[in-house]
Amino acid sequence: MAPARIALVTGAGSGIGQAVSIGLLQDGWDVALVGRRATALEETAALAAGAPGRAVTIPADVTQVDDVRRAFGLVRETWGRLDLLFNNAGVSAPAVPLEDLTLEQWRTVVDINLTGVFLCTQEAVRLMKAQSPRGGRIINNGSISAHVPRPNSAAYTATKHAVTGLTRATALDGRAFDIACGQIDIGNAATAMARGYAQGVMQPTGALMVEPLLDVQHVVDAVRLMAGLPLQANVPFLTVMATGMPYMGRG
């Protein structure tokens, strides 16, 4: 019997986090479902048909260091190790001109999209270094916005560019400890966050344009590919997007 593979997914109560969590459970992973809403996490666990008892729900706020430490402590107590962290939790700010973005809105996006990734990465690295056999994989959810911005997206774009730097630093610092780190940059996945794109989204010209959406299952399959590699192999960056979206040449 193959040894259990243990994953922790943040933002597991909805969207990409929920879909990836279900995919991992269906692939035989044991998964710690982390998010702020307990009822949403329980829904994710219930949707993973055929995987009873292999999902543990851990309500936690990734911006709060005590919550993060408690979540990873529960993983250690439950399974004794962690093989995969999917840093997925993220939010965007209102699409307003940069000068109209409030400091509170800026800090909310930075706290969740960047500081939350940092705090979870810290705890994952500590656990992966100490466990036997040591090592593991960290996958960060970047974005097309880690490459190029949309109009009126200063906070989101800044954090996603920063996540790219954190991905590179983690891959380098984890190398000596068998910790692989990569990033998936997703464009127009058909989740609640992107639902409005099918009705029309602001372009750099100021015009509204209907944009195609990508079935979220293709995102799940891409994460499965990255997660399923042996630690001797890594995908540092992978972009998956709707073919027709205005990414190439955006701006």
Nearest to 44 by CA among 23, 21, 11: 21
Q: How many domains does the chain have?
A: 1
pLDDT for the residue numbered 245 = 84
CATH number for the domain spanning 76: value is 3.40.50.720
Look at residue 170 in the predicted model and tell me its pLDDT: 98
Active site annotation includes 247? no
Q: Is residue 248 part of a domain?
A: no
Tell me the residue range of the domain where 151 lies.
6-241
Assigned domain for 249 exists: no
pLDDT of residue 249: 67
Q: Indicate whether 129 belongs to any domain.
A: yes
Handedness of CA 98, 103, 109, 114 (dihedral sign): positive
The two most distant CA atoms of the chain are separated, in Å, by 58
Beta strands in 52-207, from DSSP E residues, in sequence order: 55-59, 84-87, 136-141, 179-187, 201-202
Token pair in block for residue 114: 């960047």
* pLDDT tens per residue across all 251 residues of the chain: 567 899 999 999 999 999 999 999 999 999 999 999 999 999 999 998 666 668 999 999 999 999 999 999 999 999 999 999 999 999 999 999 999 999 999 999 999 999 999 999 999 999 999 999 999 999 999 999 999 988 999 999 999 999 999 999 999 999 999 999 999 999 888 887 776 776 788 788 888 887 888 899 999 999 999 999 999 999 999 999 998 888 876 65
User: In whole angstroms, what is the distance from residue 39 CA to residue 42 CA?
Assistant: 5
- The answer to whether residue 197 sits within a structural domain is yes
Residue 247 lies inside a defined structural domain of this protein:
no
Q: Is residue 250 part of a domain?
A: no
Q: Does a structural domain hold residue 1?
A: no
**Which residue in the list 29, 72, 79, 156 is annotated as catalytic?**
156
What pLDDT does 192 receive? 75
Q: Is residue 61 part of a domain?
A: yes
Rounded distance, CA 99 to CA 166, Å? 27
Q: Cα–chain-centroid distance for residue 97?
A: 26
H/E segment holding residue 207: none
What token pair was written down for 44?
Answer: 């994710």
